[in-house]
Structure 1
């Protein structure tokens, strides 16, 4: 039976331990990548059934769970997986750290793009690797890989590992097959391993096509790993769980051995059961949620064009995160952030995503329209005051 979800419902998340809603004032949080929508009913039912069973003991992935993962990725992305290609991990970020030990030694160079999701940079440095960055090129309001710069940096620094974010966070690009093939060609030429964070894959917006990197890796599978999760897709980040995909038998064995050394190869009971429920029964919720999110993206772009045309907006090709160039309204990053905080609206500061995030902000629109509109009005009021003072 079709369930119609009410994404206009405002659910009070204050005083629940919510990271997003931790404020003591009336701040509207439009920052961390966390939707303000109730999870799909089948997921909630699954959690209730597990709790009502009453025995919450040790658990392991079932054959049905593996099949749900294989079916989801095969039917949607033509990514052909077998059980032996799949490992579980508590999260994509721990897996990024794990990959340092799989593909590099201490002191080795690891290449990432700039801007990029913050842990790409911090995990490289925290694991005593050399961080090398290649700035993305902005062309006609969208980011593009600077392939010439990427190759030059690989050669100059003897890069051993490239961490790719596809779809890209924070810019929202879904890299095309041609772009990925060109990147693969460069990495193969210089024997560079590729780890592709694909956690936003299921959030690809209308008119764009996501290409899993592993579908291109034939002949180079011993150097390619993809990381993904159901948590962003179904707004269940509080239930930790993710997957590592690799096609090469020796590589998957090496990853598994390293996971056992770190004791990071198991998920909890709720993560396993919720993952299966999401992949088997969550598609209807996801379709409705994304129709709602796309209207919020359109609403936001119209609002900014009408009221704050000096903000340069990068329309996302995936996710519910919008990258904003606010350089018309501030000269330094702290002032920009404080201006919005003083207006009791919270966005993610762009500078946290690298030097290319200077005077940029990341806006999350995955919330009820009433909250979004109020947040946008506060942004408008904050920047209107700046304009009047200048």
Structure 2
């Protein structure tokens, strides 16, 4: 891979940041996005922190913002669902991420159009960063990945979930399986950079919270706010790419016209529209794009865009709360789907299928969806990633299993599996 001067500066920034206990990188990988203000943001060092578990987490976050009205970067774990609804997860958790974590950084470095900007902190750190010598040594991975499901048990579980669909209990459920490694020894930053090189995506990121790491190649935006407008871009619909250009183009056409994929997508679009109405000016919710096809290194994806005008009487933190967790990772109806997820999945999701991102001083924000992501607890030496898909009446269990392996392929390659 040929690195541009800005790529090298990005790598040096992350290596310099690794001396801190807390830092977060949000990287668009230069995908064009009308809603993004910067190509890459790196927030380094924690001046203030908020760490809490579900109960009053969103109220605590609102108070934290109102007390400081500063840049803040953070994590919203999927387990916050237990605060919002009468839900509980009994699965064990060896990753031990907090349900909600936010920090106000000492430094914020922004990269935009091959230029570097210091949004927070002393500009002299640019010279420090430029002097960093990049690590060139290869770090041997010690990772043996296992799965919580074999193919037979996965297919049986999908068929059990389809029984609930046939009974009318749900229309769609996002069912996920965990791949994990115990006694795993990795260099988190090196693994992230390899993953980001192999699978660059528009909402990628790296998040270090003391001994816990999020290494993300996610293509999905959960929710962002620009002025008084909220925008959500759920993904539902996946197709494997081909090295043959003509065949690859036909795959895109087939995905765009697939009745099955459209049905999965529109169910989540309707769910997101419903979630946004809780925070919207009446009549302002609209679908800006339905069934858009977007191309990434391993897959084509079907992405829709839904937006609304934020009701001025609704605090923006409440707008996040009203849409969380994102419908693309639950199913519909949302509460029943989440109950079935807790019943049929074998792992606690924790940070997976939650979100991380940033809030600016004026209350604008942007949060991704934590998918295509490695989670790592360095102290416990436990590594985990989960993959899943939408299970509907028309879903084929064996094809869903193969789609999971496709979504896991980039991570598997990076981990040497």
Q: Which bin holds the TM-score, normalised by the shorter protein?
A: under 0.3
Where is the helix percentage greater, Structure 1 or Structure 2?
A: 1
Where is the strand percentage greater, Structure 1 or Structure 2?
A: 2
Give TM-score scaled by structure 2 length: 0.23
